[in-house]
Structure 1
């Protein structure tokens, strides 16, 4: 077993080529391990050891590695928080207006531009498959869904609202996030109907 293989197994998570290089694993060694079937390429520049346990959230982990400043939002955050039955076809991420928008095909990424105030509000950090992933809170996700209701569909928004109301809820925080997204007046009639 080579030093590169040992280092990858100790790391026990997906990693970028640049990160592997900093850890003393040259790109040529990664490509050689890929040819031997000992590592798998998840996406351009992102590798994982093949003998690791299956990843639970590979799309979110790869998206976070590709764009560490991006925050998982909308349908992807709903799916992560179990607030929808809809399976997203791409990873939805929020970026601050003016920042680099991540691109890629595996997994496909849909980037949304948020204002500074809206972007910074409600961010939670989760460790998924060994990768630090930023995801919006349940309340922030719901407020964002109302904001982008014409893009994602009102049926998904209403399902998420009913799911939110049937579980643990923090109405004060939800209203605070609605104000941050400038959606309080839009959301209030729906909240009064279900709460």
Structure 2
């Protein structure tokens, strides 16, 4: 398989997208990206991110592929889990404390920071609206995150999410309380649940 064929295979495997870092991984010179752009088969979507001209751009997938520490959270994930009808104006994502968020991400995302040891728990894989696998927090972690960040979240969104959560048959209250304890919001969560239940 020559370099152009390998790039085309990677683009196909990654739903129409390739990173310049992917070429580095396979020791493919970047001049081949420029060749495919000149031929009109690829276009530059963002720094280091290229998409096939016939592909639908999936910003959530592309940004997470480029910034691996970025985990979708809060309002964005409430919508993906069906706990909110509102599509957010900007994506919400959580990164570990000390992680440098570049300006083009900070301008387009609502960024939350969390201690490194709390960053990974509750992470699951979900499909974006374009069908690509993205990393998000599970429902219980998302409920806890919304409560922990309640000063940055619309109160109606929080209340609606809690009302919907208690109606879900698969809700895991012991896991919810475990997360609440780790995030130091156990007392506040109990007060909210008392009102809802």
Q: Given the two structures, how large is their TM-score scaled by the length of structure 1?
A: 0.83
Match of 1:148 in 2: 149
**Unpaired segments of 5 or more residues in structure 1?**
none
Summarize deviations over 1:124-162 as a string: whole Å, max 9, x none: 234656866321111101100011111122111111112
Q: Could you tell me how far apart the structure 1 residues matched to 2:42 and 2:106 are? A: 17
Q: Could you tell me how far apart the structure 1 residues matched to 2:103 and 2:19 are? A: 15
**Unpaired segments of 5 or more residues in structure 2?**
none
Q: Could you tell me how far apart the structure 2 residues matched to 1:116 and 1:4 are? A: 36
Shift of the alpha carbon at 1:107? 8.3
Q: Could you tell me how far apart the structure 1 residues matched to 2:126 and 2:47 are? A: 23
Could you say what secondary structure the match of 2:50 adopts? strand
Could you say what secondary structure the match of 1:104 adopts? helix
The counterpart of 1:42, out of the listed 34, 45, 51, is: 45
The counterpart of 2:22, out of the listed 19, 22, 35, is: 19
Summarize deviations over 1:144-190 as a string: whole Å, max 9, x none: 00111111221111111122122231111111111111111111122
Q: CA RMSD in A?
A: 2.7
Q: Could you tell me how far apart the structure 1 residues matched to 2:35 and 2:89 are? A: 32
Q: Does 1:172 align with 2:174?
A: yes
The counterpart of 2:31, out of the listed 28, 32, 37, is: 28
1:100 and 1:176, CA in 2 relative to 1: closer, same or farther beyond 3 A? same
Q: How many residues align?
A: 192
Shift of the alpha carbon at 1:25? 4.2
